[in-house]
Amino acid sequence: MGRVSTYLNFMGNTEEAFNFYRSVFGTEFLGPILRMGDSNPDAESLSSAERQMVMHMELPILSGHVLMATDMLESMGHNLRVGNNTTIVLEPDSKEETQRLYDALSEGSTEFSPLSDMFWGATWGTCLDRFGVRWMFNYVPPSSE
């Protein structure tokens, strides 16, 4: 079943923020906290401090909605600002629906990463739509595909 989530970017304090949100909502993290050094293909180029930063984590909040987050890295030229700190994540049920949504929302986009097969097993991409809303697409095929 597909889901819609919210993705948040932080400049090095994702874990602190999510520990706070966990206390507010009284919920527990979904899965382990993935660190930049865990499986990031660029991990060798990162400092030891950056390897410990959060690559991905998830926390359910209300009515099945999930907050996801990552730490942005200054060494990779990341700069946190209003507009790139929040993303709506779409995880459709099929690759075809993922492509359809990406094509429609990226029409007229000024910033985008095309849908691509990623090392975590998903088809992933992003776009900043013509209205300034950032969208992320993440389709993980069922293990039988």
CATH number for the domain harbouring residue 53: 3.10.180.10
Is the pTM of the predicted complex or chain greater than 0.85? no
Tens digits of residue pLDDT in 54-112: 999 999 998 889 999 999 998 878 887 766 788 899 999 999 999 999 999 999 988 89
Structure-block tokens of residue 81: 């600002």
The domain tally of the chain equals 1
Domain assignment present for residue 145? The answer is no
Domain assignment present for residue 102? The answer is yes
Domain assignment present for residue 61? The answer is yes
For residue 40, what are the contacts with CB-CB under 8 A and spacing of at least 6?
Answer: 46, 55
Q: Do the Cβ atoms of 120 and 41 come closer than 8 Å? A: no
Which range of residues forms the domain containing residue 43?
3-139
